[in-house]
A and B are shown apart, each in its own frame.
Chain A
Amino acid sequence: MNSLKVEHAESQGNIVRDCPGTKDHICCGYKTIDLIEGCALSCSYCILKAYLNTPAITIHDDIPYITSQIDDMTGRETRHILRFGTGELSDSLALDRRYKLNRPLVEFFGERKNALLELKSKWAYIDHLIPHLNPYTIISFSIAPQRIIDEEEKRTSPLYKRLKTARKAQDAGCFVGLHFDPIIICPGFEKDYHYLIEDISRILDMDRIIWLSLGLLRFPPKLLGHYMEHNRRNLLYGEFIRGEDGKMRYIKQQRIKVYTMLYKMLKKKNKGLFIYFCMEREDVWRKVTGMTVKDDDALMTLFDERIKHLYGGKI
C-alpha cells in the first residue's frame, strides 16, 4: 500500500450524507461519513470502480467540520437512532493505522452517546484503537468464505483474522457487526457458508453481534463488461437480471433461495440474531423472514428496537 497516491482534500459540502439507497428497494437509513474516498484493497467486484473516477485516495480530515455535520444530523432526527459509517466509499480500517482518522470520531461518539459509529472493514487491525473504543463504536467486518477472499479480495485480511479481530473488539466492550456482502453464488458456495457460519459461532459471542447484513452481489451494468474483460468466473457464475433500480442482481428466485438458506443457518445458531438485507425488495423480506418490512422507515424502526434492546437507556 506504500505506492498509493493519497491526497488530503479541503472539506466542503456534505461529508456526512444519507446512504443513497436504491430505487424500489428497502434501505436501512444509514448515514455515511465520507472520511476517505477510494480504497487500497481493490476487491475484484468493488463498485467503487464504477463510481470513483480516480485511483487516488482522498482524505477529508477536518474532524471539527465533520463532527459539526454529525451533530447537525443527530439534532434534526427526532424518531430514529442514527447509525453512521465510514465504510461507504472506502474501507474504514485499511489506512487507519497510518492516518489515525477514526480515533477522534470514536471519542466523539463516545462523548455524545446519542448515535452509533460503525467502522466497516476487511482489514483486521484495531490495536491502535483499542484504548479508545467505547460501546458507541461498532467494529464491523465484511465476511466471505476464505475461497472468495483468496480469489476476489486478494489484498484483504484472511477470514480468521477478521473474526479474531472482531472477537478482540467484543472483548474490549464493543458490539460487532457482520456483513455477508457481497454473497457470491459460485460452485460449492453453500458448503463454504456452512463452514463460515460454524467459524463465526465458534469464535464470536453471537449475543454481542449487534447486526448481521445479507447482501447478494449487485452492481451497476457497466461493471458487467469489466467482470467479463477480467474473466471473473465467480462473479459471473449466477444468473443476473437488471433490477428495478437498474442494477444487475441475481434473479429473485435465486436470491430468495440463498437468503432463506443463510437466514435459517444463522438463526439456528442464534435465534436472537438481528439479520437484515441490504437493498432488498419488500417481497423478498417477506418471503425469507416472514416479516413485513414495507419501507425504509419500517427497517429503521427494527434497528431502533435492536439498539434499545442492547443498550437499554444508555443511548
Chain B
Amino acid sequence: MKTIPLNDIDLNDRRFCISYPLEDEALTGSIGEIGIVQPVLLLDASPLVTITGFRRITSAKKLGLANIPAIIKKVRADEALLLSIHDNLGRGLNMVEKAYALEKMAGAGFSRQKIFGIMALLSLNPHEKVLGSFVAIANEEKPLKDFIVRHGASMKNIEYLLKFDAQERKGIISLLSPLHITDSLLREILEMLILMKIRKGAVNLRGLHTSSDGRDLKARLKKKNYPILSSMEKKFLAVKQRCALPPHIDIKVDPFFEKEYIDILLKIKSENDVKAAMEKLKAILEDGYIRSILELTQG
C-alpha cells in the first residue's frame, strides 16, 4: 500500500467505474472524520487510473484531501474491469450499477459466456434480451438513472419506462419523481400510461401533475383509460349518496359491474334495527334508487 497524491490519478478516466451515483454523503462524512480506511486500487499507468474506489476518491476530492491510500496493480484492462466488478459484488449493486458492469463488459469485448456468468452472479437471468435491456439502461439519460436508483425500480418497471420515447419519459419522470410510490403501484401507473400510449398514440399527462400522491395519480389515470367504468362508478356513488344510507346499511356492486345482482348489507342488533332497515330500504326502493343501481349492473 502506498500514499498517492490525488493529482497523480486521472480522475476523468472512468473505464472501470460501475458505481452510481458517485456522490455519497455518508461516505464523505465518514472519510472526513476518520479518513479512507480501505485503500483504493489503481492501475499502474501514467497517469494512474482508478480500478476501484471511485466513490472514496470523489469524497476525498470533495473534502480537499491531497493524498489517499492506494494499491497499485499492473493488470490488463479486461482484468481490471473484472476486479472492479468483483470488488463491488459484495455490497449489492443497484440496477444502474449492474447495467454499467454489463455494458462495460460488452463494450470491452468479453464473451457472452463470461457476461452471462457475471449476470448470474448479479442475480439476473442470463439472457440476450435481458442483457440488451441493461445495456440500454447504461446508455440512458441521467434523470432516468436517478429515478431508477431513488425508487429502487424493478426490472419490469425499468422495461416499461424504456418503452416511452425520451421526451415522454422526461415528462413521466418529472410526474413521478415527487411522489412516494411502491414498486407495485409504479407498475400499475406505468401500465396505464403504456395503455394510453398504445391506444392514443401518445401519452397525455395533462391534469396529472397536480396529483396529491400515487393513489390519486392512479385514480386519475383510471378515469382517462377506463371512461365507461369510471362513469359507472361515479353514477353508483352519486345514487348511493342520494340514498343517504345509515351506517348499518350498505349497498355493494361488483367492482366491474359484471354481476347482475347487488348486495344489500345490514348490521342488525335488535328487532328495531330490522324494522328501521326495512323502512329505509322501502323508501329508497320507492324513490327508484334501487332501480337506478340495477340499471348500472344490468348494463
Contact = CB atoms under 8 A, between A and B. Distances in A.
B191 A228 contact: yes
A51 B260 CA distance: 30
A241 B195 contact: no
B178 interface: no
A242 B226 CA distance: 13
Nearest to B195: A236
Given A228-B191, A233-B199, A239-B226, A251 B257 contact: yes
Nearest to A287: B299
Give the size range of B's interface with the partner.
10 to 19
Interface string B170-182: 0000000000000
Interface stretch (B13-21, B137-145, B227-235, B281-289): B227-235
Contacts of A243: 256, 258
Interface string B243-264: 0000000000000111110000
B198 interface: yes
B72 interface: no
A156 B85 CA distance: 51
B27 interface: no
B228 A231 contact: no
Interface in B203-261: 225-229, 232, 256-260
A287 B229 contact: no
Contacts of B228: 239, 251, 253-254
A89 B229 CA distance: 33
Given A252-B257, A253-B228, A253-B257, A232 B198 contact: yes
A102 B223 CA distance: 50
A251 B229 contact: yes
Question: Which of B225, B226, B228 has its CB near the most chain A CB atoms (within 10 A)?
Answer: B228
A244 interface: yes
Interface in A226-240: 228, 231-233, 236-237, 239
Interface string A272-315: 00000000010110010000000000000000000000000000
Interface string A199-237: 000000000000000000000000000001001110011
B259 A244 contact: yes
Contacts of A237: 199
Contact of A253 (B198, B199, B232): B232
Given A233-B199, A251-B228, A253-B232, A241 B256 contact: yes
B299 A284 contact: yes
A281 B256 CA distance: 14
B113 interface: no
A244 B259 CA distance: 8
Contacts of A251: 226, 228-229, 256-258
A132 B227 CA distance: 53
A255 interface: yes
B46 interface: no
A126 interface: no
B260 A283 contact: yes
A95 B226 CA distance: 41
Contacts of B12: none
A287 B257 CA distance: 15
B91 to A, nearest CB: 33
A237 B226 CA distance: 11
A256 interface: yes
Contacts of B194: 228
Contacts of B198: 228, 231-233, 236
Interface in B63-87: none
Contacts of B256: 241-243, 251-252
A236 B199 contact: yes
B258 A239 contact: no
B298 interface: yes
A228 B195 contact: yes
23 contacts: A228-B194, A228-B195, A228-B198, A231-B198, A232-B198, A236-B198, A237-B199, A239-B225, A239-B226, A239-B227, A241-B229, A241-B256, A244-B258, A244-B259, A251-B229, A251-B257, A251-B258, A252-B257, A253-B228, A253-B299, A254-B228, A281-B258, A287-B298
Given A236-B198, A243-B258, A252-B256, 7 more contacts: A228-B194, A228-B198, A251-B228, A253-B228, A283-B299, A284-B299, A287-B299
A-B interface, 10 closest residue pairs, ranked by CB to CB distance from nearest: A241-B256, A283-B260, A256-B299, A252-B299, A253-B299, A239-B228, A236-B198, A233-B198, A251-B228, A239-B226
Interface of A: 228, 231-233, 236-237, 239, 241-244, 251-256, 281, 283-284, 287
